A and B are shown apart, each in its own frame.
Chain A
Amino acid sequence: MNATTEQPAKKGRKKFELDPALAAYKGVWVFIEHERGEVHTVSWELLGEGRKLADQLGVELAGVVMGAPGEETRRFCDEAYKYGADLCYVVEDPVLENYRNESFTKSLTDLVNTFQPEILLLGATTLGRDLAGSVATTLKTGLTADCTELAIDPENRSLAATRPTFGGSLLCTIVTLNYRPQMATVRPRVMAMPDKDDSRSGRIIEHKLNMIETDIITKVLEFIPDNRADKPQLPFADIIVAGGRGMKNPDNFKLIWDLAAVLGAEVGATRPVVQSGWVELERQVGQSGKTVRPKLYIAVGISGAIQHRVGMESSDVIIAINNDPHAPIFDFATYGIVGNAMTILPALTEAFRQHLATVRKAV
C-alpha cells in the first residue's frame, strides 16, 4: 500500500544523529522460532524480508536459534542460510527445551547485549509476542507490533515499520530513532516466503547461557498438541470463501459454506461475523485474525475495511460481491460484482459446480 495523504510528522524532523554508543549496533537479526522439531514458517518469511533490509544497510543477516542440546539446532541453522542468513547465533541449554518466558527472555537479552544487532525481528505468534514484549521492556527499547511493511529510511538508516492503526482504518509508520535494537514483529503469512537457495551456507556463533533450572520459577508440566485435523488451517489454504456482515444472518451464511464445499475451499469471516458467533474464531481473517495468501479469495458481503484488507490483500485473485457499489473492497479486488449476495451466491455455486463437472470429465 502506498501513502496518499501524508500528514506532518508528530515530532520535528530535524537532522538526526545517532548516539555513537548506539552506532556500534550492527546487523539484522531474525529470531528462529521452532516447536517440536519444526521451524515456524514465519521465521523464513522474516529472513526473506530481513535479507532485503540487511542488503540495503550493507550489513549481515543473522538467525537466532535457541534450544536444548540434542535438538536439531544445526539443521535449523543450515536451513536458515538457505533462506538468506549469513550466520546464526546458537544458544543451547537444557533450560531452553520448552518455551518459557524467563529463560528465553534472558537468553535473547544476553545475546543482544553481547553482539548488538541494530534490528531484531520476531514472528507475531503467541511465542513471539510474549518474548518480544518482554525483551523490549528489559532492553528499554522500541517495539512495533504486527507490521505489514518494513523498510529502511534512507535519510537516517532507521527501520521504518508500517502497521495498521486506529482500529485498522489507517496505517502508520513507526520509527525507533535513538534506541537499539529496533524491534518489530510481523504476523505469519504477511511477508512472502523467500526462495530457498540450497547452495548457500553460513557460519555459527555459539553463546552460553548462564542459567540453571532452579533459577526458573515457571515449570512446564505438559504440552497438549492440537489435533490439527479438526482445526481450520486458513493461513495455508489455497482457496477461501469468506463472508461478512453483509450476509445478514447465520442462515444466509450457509450459502458461503455451500460455495466452499463445491470449490474444496476453507471458509473465512470478518471480525463482526466471528463476534456474532456465526463461525469459530480460527476462521477470522484480518488484523486481529489470520493473515492469508490464497490463490483465490472470494469475499461476500465484506466491505473491505483495512482491518480485513491487511489480512487478505496478498491473495492472487480476489472476487468481491457486495451490494454497495462504493464498498472499498472494489478498490483492490480483481473482479467485482455489485448485487444481492443471497441470489448471486447460489447462482455462482451452481455455475462452478457445472463448470467443474465438465473440467473433470475433460481430465
Chain B
Amino acid sequence: MHIVVCIKQVPDSAQIRVHPVTNTIMRQGVPAIVNPYDLFSLEEALRLKDKYGGRVTVLTMGPPMAEAALRKCLAYGADEAVLVTDRAFAGSDTLATSFALASAIRQIQNDMAVDLVFAGKQTIDGDTAQVGPGIAKRLDLQLLTYVSKIESLDLEKREITVHRRAEGGVQVLKTKTPALITMLEGVNEMRFATMPNMFRAARYPLKVWDKDAAGIEDVTKIGLKGSPTIVSKVFAPTAKSQKASMIETESGDPRDIAITLLTKLFTQHPKLEKEIGKRAA
C-alpha cells in the first residue's frame, strides 16, 4: 500500500504579532511548524501503514526551508519525502496549488501506485480547506473530508469505509480507493518520534523537485498566472470609532468594580437585565 500525505509548513500563528504602529506583520522569530491539522492525517496514515504495511510518502510545496517540515514528518515515521519548490510557484492560490500538488502526485505514482492521499482538513495560515478537495477533483479521487474514523480498509477489494463529520451528525460512507482523505482534528494523537527515525530523518536524501521534475509543463496553471483570485488589499483591522467604556473605581476593590459595571450595564441595556433575569432562574 502506498499513501501520500500532503503537508504544509506554516508560521506558528499563535506567535505572529502585528506591529502596533506600522500595522505590518512581524515575522521575525516566528517559528515555522508543520500545519497542526496535517499531523492528524499523517498519524492516521502511519497507523494504516502499521496495520497493512507499505509506504508513506510526505509531499509539500513551498520554499526550500520547508525541508524542515518534511524531516519532522520523516522523524515521526514517514518513509519518503518530496519537496516541490520553484520560484514559478510564487503567488499560487488554492487552485494553482492543487494543480501543482496533483501533478507531483502523478510523478510519485510513476514509482509506486498510490492507494490513498491524505491532506490536512485546512491550514492554520490560509484556513481555506480547499486544496484537499482540489487535488481530489484533479486526480479523480473519491473525496472524504472531515473523517473522524477509518472503519475498515480492504486492499484486495479496494474498499474503504469511514465516518465523516457532517452538519448535525456523522455519515458512514463506503467508497473505493484511490481516495483523498482529510482527517478531523483531535481524532488521534501524533506518536513520538523514535531515535532511529530521527537519525534517519536527518540523513535522508530529500527529493527536491522543481516544476519540471514535478511534471508541470503549462506554466499558466501555476503561480500568479494560474491563480484566479487576486489579493487586492491587505489591511489591519481598526478599532471601532468608540473604544470601550472603562470601569474604574477609586478603591479599586473588585466588589465596587463589579457593582459599578452592573449598574452601568443594566441602566444602558435594560433589555439585557430582563433577558438574564428570565433565563437564569
Using a CB–CB distance below 8 Å, which chain A residues touch chain B?
A: 1-7, 9-11, 13, 33, 35-36, 40, 98-102, 105, 125-127, 129-130, 132-134, 136-138, 140-146, 153, 160, 164-179, 217-226, 228, 238-239, 262-264, 271-272, 281, 287-288, 295-296, 306-307, 309, 316-320, 328-339, 343-344, 346-348, 350-352, 355-356, 359-360, 363
Contact = CB atoms under 8 A, between A and B. Distances in A.
Given A221-B174, A223-B170, A332 B261 contact: no
Contacts of A137: 95, 98, 130, 133-134, 137-138
Contacts of A144: 229
Nearest to A9: B232
Nearest to B281: A360
B110 interface: no
A332 B146 CA distance: 34
B232 A332 contact: no
Nearest to B182: A130
Contacts, number: 313
B145 A10 contact: no
8 contacts: A11-B230, A40-B167, A166-B11, A169-B18, A264-B276, A287-B127, A335-B261, A355-B262
Given A177-B230, A348-B261, A355-B262, A166 B255 contact: no
Contact of A173 (B13, B94, B231, B244): B231
A11 B224 contact: yes
**Chief secondary structure at chain A's binding surface:** mixed
B124 to A, nearest CB: 6
Interface in B46-68: none
B157 interface: no
Given A127-B166, A223-B172, A336 B247 contact: yes
B234 interface: yes
Contacts of A7: 233-235
Interface stretch (B74-82, B198-206, B265-273): B265-273
B25 A222 contact: no
Interface in B28-59: none
Contacts of B122: 288
B170 A224 contact: yes
